[in-house]
Amino acid sequence: MVYFQLWCQVLDLIKNKKDLTMENFLKILSIKSVFPKGLSNDVRNSYPNIDHFSKPQFELDFNPLDPHWISGFVQADGTFGLNYTKAPRMILGYTCQPQFRITQHKRDLLILTKIIKELDCGNIVKPSINRDEYNVSVSNLKDLIEKIIPFFNNYTLYGAKLLDYNNFCKGVYIIKNKGHLSIESLNELKSLAYNMNTYRKFM
């Protein structure tokens, strides 16, 4: 929300081209400097007189998240996965684990916490010590069937994400019915997994 407010300030400065003076241009650079990626060294060296800009304080909002907003957020940054992997201990040598995941930078950890609260399931995990990212992860089959799938059935996804979600749902119910223990259904899970997310091909 803070960055959106700052973005609106920049729009106000440039909405009328005649107001785009050097003073306003430097103010825009000053605002840009507090965004996550800041200013490049080249820009800082070219404009050494940029004033310090104090970023507004983020105010906690304790209101529930709009479920349509959550769906839109997942449309952009969520993943429905069927993790088809080797499993030497399994009779068929492979297994398939469904997982719903949202990945965000650590600065948005509060958002992930609120999403978990609204979905009433999931854990926050840090997948790598070398990256400033955190995941919301839901892999419990009961939670996927009783909470995640009903939620996204009610608050629809679109485009390729919806296609991935449909594959995901098929896979979850195959696993629920123990289909992953038969070679035929395991092959079906493999086909679903390798035709979604980054594996999906478009004509």
pLDDT bucket at 130, cuts 50 / 70 / 90: confident
Tell me the C-alpha distance between 172 and 140, whole Å.
10
61 lies in some domain: no
57 lies in some domain: no
Distance of CA 69 to the CA centre of its chain: 12
Helix spans in 47-200 (H): 67-77, 109-119, 141-143, 149-154, 159-176, 183-193
The structure tokens 């995901």 sit at 168
Higher per-residue pLDDT: 74 or 54: 74
76 lies in some domain: yes
Question: What is the number of domains present in the chain?
Answer: 2
pLDDT at 153: 97
pLDDT at 74: 96
- Rounded to whole angstroms, the maximal C-alpha distance in the chain is 73
For residue 95, the cross-strand partners are 85
Tell me the C-alpha distance between 42 and 19, whole Å.
25
CATH number of the domain that 98 lies in?
3.10.28.10
Residue 172 has pLDDT above 80, yes or no: yes
pLDDT at 61: 67
pLDDT at 148: 98
Same domain, yes or no: 76 and 130 = yes
For residue 133, the cross-strand partners are 105
pLDDT at 100: 97
163 lies in some domain: yes
Average pLDDT over residues 78-85: 92
Q: In the chain, pLDDT over 70 holds for what percent of residues?
A: 94
Same domain, yes or no: 8 and 98 = no
Same domain, yes or no: 144 and 94 = yes
56 lies in some domain: no
Asked whether the beta carbons of 34 and 9 are under 8 A apart, the reply is no
Range from 9-18, 33-42, 83-92, 188-197 carrying the lowest mean pLDDT: 9-18
Overall residue count recorded for the chain in this entry: 203
Same domain, yes or no: 81 and 154 = yes
Domain around 35: 2-46
Same domain, yes or no: 127 and 195 = yes
179 lies in some domain: yes
pLDDT bucket at 3, cuts 50 / 70 / 90: confident
55 lies in some domain: no
Asked whether the beta carbons of 37 and 3 are under 8 A apart, the reply is no
Higher per-residue pLDDT: 161 or 56: 161
Same domain, yes or no: 89 and 23 = no
